[in-house]
DNA sequence: CCCCCCAAGATTGTCGACAATTTATGAATA
DNA sequence: TATTCATAAATTGTCGACAATCTTGGGGGG
């Protein structure tokens, strides 16, 4: 599974392409957070007309990566501590729900496949100790499968097309490569066990706790970042 | 508070106007659920160019009122029983969260104002017995204030600009004027009391239960509707 | 010296037309 | 008669240009 796991959009039209490209650049920070977006400039850069670019901007707004004001323009979302908290509060509630539903609705083979994936991640983790593979792609993959396991299309859309790009943006730009790898693995294991036992209540609780831990982890990095920036400005 | 309580968008541009107009027509059923949308036709009807109309369609898609397929077109969302369940599962989780946060973050005067509003609704309800005023506008108002009381902007946006138009669409088109009025009032009272006592856990629980009851109520109407339609088709 | 106002420049919103794709129509074949 | 394929019609996607709005810079008045 690639880093574009959550973008299941088949790219047919030109604005699709621009949307996907811009999304990657924003998430990775090539287009810096908080910066203003000039329509004529970017249209030229991507080699499309302004109408096509605006179509892409609309979709980026839908997934909270840019913000728009009438007659003023677009700017990339700013990664603040407050927003991080807000997003994670919402994420916790929604993914908790997804987890509870998955305990009822996930097919047996889906559960088995996910357990297998976890084991595979464990191996990979041992081999590439210290690498960010597991934390980045592996973690996303795990969460994504559970979300889909909820079988609630509205919820799936809300999380994969709505929140996760923003979450990834925080993770990538904060440089999430911490020592949480092994801990996260254990937490993942407990969650999948609860799901396998169809214990929705427990699964929800564990997922919420897992996400809280993840939030605390990012927040630490965030403060570190902020401190660095302050020092740099002096 | 009007029925447009959840549309806080100041209408500056032409596409804003089309967006608001179309949203009302879709929610109220003037543009029938499930029907295909012809861009040239509607553009002419609203007296704007296709570009402007498409801008509005993009926003309608963002709040789940229309669905889009590349190179095929737009159609109004279809009100199915499955979707109703999905939406209410999400609503329950999100508004439960909002309620829990409101118990911590709502200012004392906001709480007082809300209690006052409830009493006012009680009076109005007695006067206009059987009218749908309370259930429609009053209920929306109550929920909206709590959502805003969460002070979580992301959550507020997700609910008011995202879910509530779709919820209203179900309620309006199912003709929600039931006998749940007095029951709903008691439930609202219990919720606001929990919030006043800063008991977030209880407030969340009560809100989730309140929403479940509301869902059951709509679902009954929905089945009635479906039965009627079946009979009509024979 | 600061503030307000006005004009010039730049940016966004809107329009009509063209290109690309999908859908409808109908003739030919099995 | 049902099916398939090719062609025509209609719809969506994209473009470049114009209109409306906001921003910037400078000059005049307090």
> Which tens digits make up the pLDDT trace of A125-145?
665 555 545 556 778 889 999
Q: Say if strands B66-69 and B36-37 run parallel, antiparallel, or are unpaired.
A: unpaired
pLDDT at B144: 95
Buried b (16+ CB within 10 A) or exposed e, A196-229: beeebebbbbbbbebbeebbebbbebbeeeeeee
What count of other Cβ atoms lies within 10 Å of the Cβ of residue B35? Answer: 12
Cβ–Cβ contact A32 with B under 8 A: no
- Which bases of chain D are contacted by protein, using any atom under 7 A from a CB? 11-17, 21-23
Of A173-177, A220-224, B203-207, the poorest mean pLDDT is in A173-177
pLDDT at A230: 66
pLDDT at B31: 97
pLDDT at B85: 96
Give me B12's structure tokens.
Answer: 């500056």
How far is Cα B167 from Cα B7, in angstroms, rounded to an integer? 14
A152 CA to chain B: closest CA distance, Å?
A: 6
Question: If you average pLDDT over every residue of chain A, what do you get?
Answer: 89
Q: Give the phi and the psi of residue B203 in degrees, each rounded to 5.
A: -55, -45
How far is Cα B197 from Cα B202, in angstroms, rounded to an integer? 10
What is the mean predicted confidence (pLDDT) over A223-232? 75
Look at residue B177 and give its three-state secondary structure: coil
For chain B, give every domain's residue range: 14-76, 81-233
What count of other Cβ atoms lies within 10 Å of the Cβ of residue A63? Answer: 21
Record: contact B59-A58, CB cut-off 8 A: yes
Q: Give the phi and the psi of residue B99 in degrees, each rounded to 5.
A: -65, -40
Query: In what side-by-side order are the strands of the sheet with B66-69?
Result: B36-37, B73-76, B66-69
Which residue matches tokens 């007659």?
A: A71
Question: If you average pLDDT over every residue of chain B, what do you get?
Answer: 89
Look at residue A217 and tell me whether its pLDDT is greater than 60: yes
Contact present, A139 and A228 (Cβ < 8 Å): no
Task: Spell out the residues 6+ positions from residue A96 whose beta carbon is closer than 8 angstroms to its own.
Answer: A204, A205, A207, A208, A211, B93
Closest-CA residue of chain A to B204:
A93
**B1 or B178, higher pLDDT:** B178
- pLDDT class for A37, splitting at 50, 70, 90? very high
Fold of B81-233: 1.20.120
**A153 or A234, higher pLDDT:** A153
* Nucleotide minimizing C1' to CA distance for residue B16: C13
How far is Cα B65 from Cα B82, in angstroms, rounded to an integer? 16
- pLDDT class for A179, splitting at 50, 70, 90? low
Look at residue A8 and tell me whether its pLDDT is greater than 60: yes
Contact present, A20 and A6 (Cβ < 8 Å): no
Contact present, B87 and B174 (Cβ < 8 Å): no
- Which bases of chain C are contacted by protein, using any atom under 7 A from a CB? 11-17, 21-23
Q: Nearest-CA neighbor of A200 among A86, A68, A100, A81?
A: A100
Element spanning A73, H or E: strand A73-76
What's the sign of the alpha-carbon dihedral A181, A187, A193, A199?
negative
Fold of B14-76: Arc Repressor Mutant, subunit A (1.10.10)
What is the mean predicted confidence (pLDDT) over A146-174? 95
User: A210-224, B47-61, B107-121: which has the highest mean pLDDT?
Assistant: B47-61
Buried b (16+ CB within 10 A) or exposed e, B145-172: bbbbbbbbebbbebbbbbbbbbbbbbbb
pLDDT at A1: 43
How far is Cα A229 from Cα B119, in angstroms, rounded to an integer? 52
Distance A40 CA to D17 C1' (A): 14
pLDDT at A5: 58
Buried b (16+ CB within 10 A) or exposed e, B108-132: eebbeebbebbeebbeebeeeeeeb
Q: CA A67 from chain center: how many Å?
A: 18
Of A9-13, B40-44, B80-84, B159-163, the poorest mean pLDDT is in A9-13
Look at residue B33 and tell me whether its pLDDT is greater than 60: yes
Give me A97's structure tokens.
Answer: 């729900």
Element spanning B45, H or E: helix B39-46
Instruction: Compare CB distances from B89 to A61, A71, A152 and report the shortest one's residue.
Output: A152
Q: Which residues of B touch A54 (CB under 8 A)?
A: 55
Look at residue B1 and tell me whether its pLDDT is greater than 80: no
Of A31-45, A157-171, B34-48, B219-233, the poorest mean pLDDT is in B219-233
**B182 or B51, higher pLDDT:** B51
How far is Cα B219 from Cα B176, in angstroms, rounded to an integer? 11
**A137 or A15, higher pLDDT:** A15
Model confidence pLDDT, tens digit, residues A184-207: 888 999 999 999 999 999 999 999
What's the sign of the alpha-carbon dihedral B141, A162, B99, A150?
positive
Q: Could you tell me the pTM of the whole model?
A: 0.92
* Nucleotide minimizing C1' to CA distance for residue B43: C15
Record: contact B71-A96, CB cut-off 8 A: no
């Amino acid at each position: 599974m690639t880093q574009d796991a959550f973008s299941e959009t088949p790219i047919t039209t030109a604005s699709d392409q621009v949307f996907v490209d811009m999304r990657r650049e924003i998430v990775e920070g090539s287009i810096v957070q908080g910066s203003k977006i000039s329509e004529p400039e970017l249209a030229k850069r991507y080699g499309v007309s302004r109408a096509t670019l605006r179509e892409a901007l609309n979709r980026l707004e839908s997934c909270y990566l840019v913000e728009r004001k009438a007659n003023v323009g677009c700017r990339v979302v700013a990664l603040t501590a407050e927003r991080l908290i807000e997003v994670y509060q919402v994420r916790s509630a929604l993914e908790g729900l997804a987890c509870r539903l998955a305990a009822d609705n996930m097919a047996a083979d889906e559960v088995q496949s996910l357990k297998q994936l976890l084991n595979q991640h464990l191996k990979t983790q041992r081999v590439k100790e210290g690498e960010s593979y597991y934390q980045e792609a592996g973690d996303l993959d795990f969460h994504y499968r559970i979300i889909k396991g909820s079988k609630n299309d509205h919820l799936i859309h809300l999380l994969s097309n709505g929140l996760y790009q923003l979450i990834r943006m925080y993770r990538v730009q904060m440089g999430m490569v911490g020592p949480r790898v092994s801990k996260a693995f254990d937490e993942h294991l407990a969650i999948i066990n609860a799901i396998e036992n169809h214990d929705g209540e427990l699964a929800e609780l564990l997922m919420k706790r897992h996400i809280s831990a993840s939030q605390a982890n990012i927040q630490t990095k965030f403060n570190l970042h902020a401190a660095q920036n302050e020092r740099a400005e002096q």
